[in-house]
Amino acid sequence: MIPLRTLAPILTSATPRRTALAAGLALAGLALAACQQDITTANPVCVAAICENFESNQLASHWHASNSARVSLSKEKVFSGRQALKVEATGAGYNRSYLSLDLTPENGLDQPREIYGRMMMYLQGDNALGGDFTFLQADGPARATSGAPENTVVNYRGRLDGRFDHFMGNYDTRIDADGDGKTEWLTDCWQHPDFEYSSAGAADNVAPAKPYLIPHDQWACVQWHFNADQNRLAFWLNGEELSALTIDANSGGTGDGCIDPNTQAGVWTGPAYFSQLHIGAEQYHKTTLPRTLYIDNLAVGSSMPGCDADAD
C-alpha cells in the first residue's frame, strides 16, 4: 500500500501565519484562480503527517467511506488539481456521509492527543439553511477519569448550524451498551457565536458576524486545533480565528449548553486520545434537507497547516 502522504505531493504545511493568511485571503480570488489553473507544475511538498488532495484514481484503502455512493471522488468542483471529495448528505433524518481515517502510525499519526488540521470546503448553496450537520469530527475513547462508562466514544466536532449556516462547535459522547439507540452518557453540548433567532419570523433575526458564516458556492479554508489533554477545541474560517467558538480552560471547559448539562458538569472533556478523523457530512434531524459539499487539500498534523500553503 502506498502511504497516503506520498499520494498528495502538492500540499505544504506551515506554522500559523496569521498576517500571511489574512493577506492571502484578501487575495482569495487570485489565490483560488492560481490553484485552479495548473497545479501539475506546483511542487511544494506536503509536510503534514496526513495529506490528501484526492487526486488518485480511487480513494486509498486506509480511507473508509461510510457509503461509496455519497462519498466519492469528483471533478465537478476542485480547489487543487483535477479532483476533490464530493459529499452528498441525504437530509430527512439521521444519515452519515463520512470519509474516515484511523489515526495510526501507518496512516501518519499515532493516536495523537493533539491535532491541527486544515481542509478546503465548498458548500453548495442548494438547500441553504436546510438544517445542521457535522463536517469535521475527531473522536476517541473517553478517559476513565471522566466518569463515562467504558467504551464511551468522545466526539469533538466542527458543525454547521442551519439557522444561519454558521459555524458552531459541538461535543458529544456516545455509548449504547443496551442497543436502544440512545446513549447512556448524554452530553451533546454546543457553542455558538452571538446571534438572535426567532422561529416566529426572520424580521427579528440577527445573524452571527460574517466570519462565522460558512460561505456558499465558494471554497473556504477550515482550520482546527483539538487538544484532548486541555479539553480544547478551536476553529478558524478563511484564516480568521473563530474565537467565540473556542472551548478551553478560559471558557471554563464548558460551552453555551448541553442536552444534559449534568453529565461531566458540562465540561467538554477530551478523549484519552484521538483514534479517528472524519470529514464529510453527518445530519441528525428529520427536517434537514439534502446538502452537497466538496472537500479538497486536507492536511492534519502536529502544527497548523496554513490556508495559503497551496496558493502557488
Task: Using CB under 5 A, list all residues that contact Ca ion.
Answer: 53-54, 80-81, 84, 176, 178, 180, 182, 184, 296
Least distance (Å) between residue 151 CB and Ca ion: 12
Least distance (Å) between residue 120 CB and Ca ion: 9
Residue that the C-alpha cell 446571534 belongs to: 195
Of the pair 62, 163, the CB lying nearest Ca ion is at: 62
Least distance (Å) between residue 55 CB and Ca ion: 5
- List the beta strands (DSSP E) in the chain: 50-52, 63-65, 71-74, 84-89, 95-102, 114-123, 133-141, 153-161, 166-174, 189-191, 219-227, 232-237, 240-241, 257-258, 276-283, 291-301
Least distance (Å) between residue 95 CB and Ca ion: 20
Backbone φ and ψ for 206, nearest 5 degrees, come out as -125, 115
Spatial separation of the C-alpha atoms in residues 100 and 195, rounded to whole Å: 32
Residue of this chain nearest to Ca ion (CB atom): 81
Least distance (Å) between residue 300 CB and Ca ion: 16
**Amino acid at residue number 82:** R
User: What H or E segment, with its residue span, contains residue 230?
Assistant: none
Of the pair 78, 277, the CB lying nearest Ca ion is at: 78
Of the pair 142, 244, the CB lying nearest Ca ion is at: 142
Of the pair 91, 306, the CB lying nearest Ca ion is at: 306
Of the pair 256, 312, the CB lying nearest Ca ion is at: 312
Q: How far, in whole angstroms, is CA 237 from its chain's centroid?
A: 11
